[in-house]
Structure 1
């Protein structure tokens, strides 16, 4: 029987780091930069006003209040205005370039908002409300480092620099096969002994949630020859294949029957749920096989494949948020197996409690959980107040 760490290393070794792809900003959210983003321009590209108000020289504000003629209006988007003449004010809008000689911007709220002349009642200190050329970013400087995940603010700074496309680590192409002659697509009609398929929906969503691309191959029947033919025909462009079901010790374990001796090795892992696992290569493509029960499939993805996909796609953070949290109630665990239990984390009380039983078919309880308890192989009972490892799922 393999340990969790042994099987995780086997899965990790299957998938190399993925190469780079160039994407427009609109398609780059959630992707990881493949190289440093170097600024092609300064930000701001020119001195500009941080307020709607008036550009003035400091000497003209020595005595307040003061009334001055307004020499020019400067809206945002203006070309560089003429220098500011002493003894005058320039009415200026937020973002507009400041004329040479500007030493302070007086917000309109501190004036009578005059158009031809303006009375200034009070004024800030020199330099206030002026955004200086290059004070945010200097051309040639590294703005975002390779490995940065591109969220809204990172995309915003790239756009502000005029960058239309970025080099990012390529998204993993994941093929998901749900096996079982008993499976019916949601929306269909159940016959005797049939169930609606849920694993492929769940795993495809889990892959997409971390930025991967998921393609689902449904519904592969419990026939080794048909399984092999369907898998072979779908491998083009795939980085990793994920199967669910057909890996245990029963008489109709189609995945195990088809892939044993074809480069995929099957083993029991000392964990619950998710003990039956497989990993290897088929026709040169990495293959990871999970059990068919939905909770087992989810836990298997979290433990073995999610961190590997994140690493391959360049993410610096590959694990769930992990902490030690006191238990709110007692929990039992089987000896010799690492147990992953659905849980609910009470942030106010800073405690965690198991949510539902350990059964790997209890999908509704998984849907209501926001975390997982991770109970070590040598811990068979934990009492209220005992600290336990918690993976936050949200």
Structure 2
């Protein structure tokens, strides 16, 4: 297919037109997540990095094993390598010790019936041997012979097979994998010094509002310190993004447009907090719409009802844009359940749905059916050892302490009503997320 024959990617309007009864003023969480997923396309840029620098990077290509791991049958225990036929009948047997082998060496001799070799963990299995008995299961082990009690070992026990971890030519790690510490060890075990990964995402963010002050500035009457940028910086850093903190932008149309254009020209994605709800001084929505294709939704959720999403352009550069509410808790929730997955997809990462657990609620929870609610909570074991979850307290979207005290979020489904004490609820644990 030639470049001109390729079908153009769908527009944001094309995607929302497929939603039955689409209403931007009454979007469900699931609908909004689906639109964002369908509109986001991964970046194409690839670079090679040393495996020591590859933690949290996204693999751009499958990693195919160039060797068998392990490279040979070897012992899983310190003990004695022997022929399985000598213990097949399950009776006590006395074996002559004809040599020893350590990891990194090999046994060149032959092991015949009634013979064994002293062997250490990781050492190659001697020719003819297919079984290892741990030394602690033997008796009367001497320099020249050892006795194996009846029934202590079966043929094939304690032998690691060649290639049982990874076989030559098999996929060790798939494209789209976000590399973890154990993955780096796996790459090293294959003798791979560097890997092809997607370029790091560049994400610009800023807060809007004349009432906001940065940390360290005097706090004038009616003003508040901007906490959202610090929350966003932490969450973006955990995702492995290159972050561009653009500070606080006041409610001035010219300054806002300049900030959007600068962010768009330098980043793959732009995140704002504040200015997407209805307000006399909220020019943000108008400027967003003037720079690209944007959707402004009222999501059936609490906290975090207003949400803007789309793509803006400036001087030939494009960036995906997420306009989040201004309330601190709403920023955290909106990022966690909309922006996080979108950025991972943009980075080329494989789908990584947030793990959800079902636990019992320690107390009743009031819930209005017809919206998804995210309650800040504490997961802890009771005196009986059974884990339950309880709210941190008042759940207002401006009470950041409720998020700081929490170690999880209770996700109450769209159609669910009040929760009784002892009922199961779905939770998302914070560790690794926020």
Instruction: Decide: shared fold, TM above 0.5.
Output: yes
- 1:7-42 per-residue CA deviation (whole Å, 9 max, x = no partner) reads 444443442123355443333344554444322111
Structure 1 stretch displaced more, 278-287 or 157-166: 157-166
Q: Match of 2:279, SS?
A: coil
Partner of 1:165: 194
Correspondent of 2:363 among 314, 328, 332: 328
Is residue 393 of structure 1 aligned with residue 424 of structure 2? no
Q: Which stretch of the first structure deviates more once superposed, 306-315 or 336-345?
A: 336-345
| 1:118-140 Cα deviation digits (max 9, x unpaired) | 33132644543333333333211
Task: Answer yes or no: is the 8 Å Cα contact 1:259–1:282 preserved in 2.
Answer: yes
Mapped pair 1:120 → 2:150: no
Q: Which residues in structure 2 correspond to 1:214-363 (within 5 Å)?
A: 214-263=243-292, 264-283=294-313, 284-312=318-346, 313-321=348-356, 328-333=363-368, 338-345=372-379, 352-363=389-400
Describe the shift of the 1:158–1:213 C-alpha distance in structure 2 as closer, same or farther (beyond 3 A): same
> Any gaps of 5 or more consecutive residues in structure 2?
1-24
Segments of 5+ residues of structure 1 without an aligned counterpart are none
Aligned to 1:94: 121
TM-aligned CA distance change 1:261 to 1:95, over 3 Å? same
TM-score under structure 2 length normalisation: 0.74
Alpha-carbon shift at residue 76 of structure 1 (Å): 1.9
SS of match in other structure, 2:52: helix
CA displacement 1:65-109 (0-9 Å, x = unmatched) = 4554x54x533222x442236587544332222333445445444
Contact 1:224 1:257 (8 Å CA) reproduced = no
Tell me the CA shift for residue 362 of structure 1.
0.6
Cα distance in 1 between the residues matched to 2:296 and 2:160: 63
Distance 1:9 1:58, change over 3 A: closer
TM-score (norm 1): 0.80
Aligned-pair CA distance for 1:329: 1.4
1:342·1:373 contact (CA, 8 Å) conserved in 2? no
Whole-Å separation in 2 of the counterparts to 1:231 and 1:113: 78
Alpha-carbon distance change, 111 to 341 in structure 1, aligned in 2, over 3 angstroms? closer
Give the Cα separation in 2 of the matches to 1:269 and 1:66: 75
Separation of aligned partners in 1, 2:37 and 2:84: 64
Point out the more displaced range, 162-171 or 300-309. Answer: 162-171
Q: Is the 8 A contact 2:228 2:331 kept in 1?
A: yes
| Aligned residues of 2:367 and 2:373 also touching (Cα < 8 A) | no
**1:4 to 2:40 alignment:** no
